Amino acid sequence: MQLSDTQMVKQRFGIIGNSPLLNRAIEVAIQVASTDLSVLITGESGVGKENLAQIIHQYSHRKHGPYIAVNCGAIPKGTVDSELFGHEKGSYTDAKTERKGYFEVAEGGTIFLDEVGELPLDVQSKLLRILESKEYMRIGSSKVQKSNVRVVAATNLNMQEATRDGRFREDLYYRLNTIPISIPPLRDRKDDIFIIFRKFASDFADKYHRPSVRLTEDAQLLLNNYYWPGNIRQLKNITEQISVIEQCRDIDAATLALYLPNNQVNNLPALYNKEEAKTFSSEREILYQVLFDMKKDMNDLKRLVHDIISKQDLNITDPVSDEDFPLFHEHKTTITQPSQQGTMKIPNAQIQDTEEYVEESLSLLDIEKEMIKKALEKHHGKRKNAAQDLDISERTLYRKIKEYGLE
């Protein structure tokens, strides 16, 4: 694959950037287009997964056939079966006429199943049958229909985790994943971010008949250091907002920061001169971080107690120093306190290790539930904001709310 070929494809489909990871994804899409193999495109929301599906279709022998894009996550669960495979008249209450499904409409072409991980398990089994035997049946029909459709699927889920949890059929995953293509998130394409911004700024300047907005050096640094959870879609939206709202066309870092969600600003050490905030790839990492912070807080509390006792001139046998309070060991000291009759000796007064205390009184599930509850209270029940605050997806938050009975 010559780079010039990749550049031609990017120009044709409006793809901007020269990231090696992006170029590799495009190269694989072109190479596999001439086959009828199933393709699974993975990547975060907003990275442009459908662009690759269109490339695969346009460079295949099916390019003159239909191209149907289906957002599986947007179809109500009760109608997914009918939408994909069609139904016969009278097959259920509202089926007043027969209806062709998307697979029948896309006959001879390509069907793009976006957010395929959202399909119900019973529909997944029918999709597996189409992929393996090229056959399906409409709802309410006993007639087997043949299917000549190329399937390209996409998801932002961790599919291996979904199969382990039983949310997605393992056999279907491996059948779809014949050719895997991964699109990198925008934060892993830092050299492309400013180039994409300039292209969007130019497009919106033409659209709204205004001069193009320009970023100062500190704003460019802020742009590159931002986490971009919404990827290219988020960058496009913010560029459009700035192009429409701001009267001054020279945008500095302070102005740009007004358009970035607050929960992501901590990922911008260059602007705020703070230690770079850690990002978490899973809920488990969040809980581990909470436990680690609790250990640190308990260690500080031990030192504070020792300082208070020392300042009050209490008689302490077996004096304690800072070195006596490591994070992961239990220590026992004997403390003698003054009383009216003399001294009161408290033998074997235990200063318990943070790790042991957490294990005895708190579980990971309790901590997770409490974090979710506090986030919902903080944002007055707004789940979208709470999910952003917890750095988890809205879908995961909904599942956890139902699991813990926080509805």
- pLDDT one-digit tens code per residue, 347-371: 444 444 444 444 444 466 777 788 8
Over 80: is that where the pLDDT of 239 sits? Answer: yes
Same domain for 102 and 150, yes or no, is yes
pLDDT the model gives residue 210: 94
Amino acid at the residue 246 = E
Q: Are both 316 and 215 inside the same structural domain? A: no
What is the residue-averaged pLDDT of the chain?
A: 82
Instruction: Please tell me the pTM assigned to this model.
Output: 0.64
Do 163 and 23 share a domain, yes or no?
Answer: yes
Closest Cα to residue 254, out of 271, 276, 275, 238?
271
pLDDT tens across 30-70, in order?
Answer: 999 999 999 999 999 999 999 999 999 999 999 999 999 99
- 386 and 317 housed in the same domain: no
Q: What is the domain extent for residue 228?
A: 187-272
What is the CATH classification number for the domain harbouring 101? Answer: 3.40.50.300
> What CA–CA distance (Å, rounded) separates 207 from 132?
47
221 inside domain: yes
| CATH code for position 371 | 1.10.10
Q: Taking 50 as the threshold, does the pLDDT of residue 191 lie above it?
A: yes
Q: Looking at the structure, do residues 111 and 179 belong to the same domain, yes or no?
A: yes
Give the whole-angstrom CA distance, residue 378 versus residue 388.
12
Q: Show the beta-strand stretches assigned E in 95-172.
A: 110-114, 135-136, 145-146, 150-155
> Of 272, 305, 333, which residue sits at a domain end?
272
**216 plus 177 within the same structural domain:** no
Query: Are 327 and 384 part of one and the same domain?
Result: no
Angle at 31 between CA 27 and CA 32, to 5 degrees: 120
Same domain, yes or no: 133 and 207: no
- pLDDT tens digits for range 1-34: 445 688 999 999 999 999 999 999 999 999 999 9
Residue 248: give its domain's CATH number. 1.10.8.60
Quickly list DSSP for 318-335: S---GGG--TT--EEEEE
Count structural domains, the chain.
Answer: 4
Kindly state the greatest CA–CA separation across the chain: 100
Residue 343 falls within a domain, yes or no?
yes
Q: Which residue has the tokens 């986490």?
A: 227
Phi, psi of 57 (to 5 degrees): -70, -50
Domain boundary (184, 210, 238) is at 184
The model's pLDDT over 107-124, given as tens digits with 9 standing for 90+, comes to 999 999 999 999 999 999
Residue 381's pLDDT band, with cuts at 50, 70 and 90, is confident
Give me the sign of the Cα torsion angle 330, 319, 310, 303: negative
pLDDT-based confidence at residue 284 (cuts at 50, 70, 90): low
Domain boundary among 242, 272, 302: 272
> Is 171 found in the same domain as 232?
no
Same domain, 141 and 71: yes
Residue 281 is assigned to a structural domain of this protein: no
Query: Do 26 and 98 fall within a single domain?
Result: yes
Q: Are residues 19 and 167 in the same domain?
A: yes
Which distant-in-sequence residues (6+ apart) come within 8 Å of 69 by Cβ?
50, 53, 112, 114
- To which residue do tokens 């597996």 refer? 128
Residues 6+ apart with CB under 8 A from 52: 25, 26, 29, 41, 181, 183
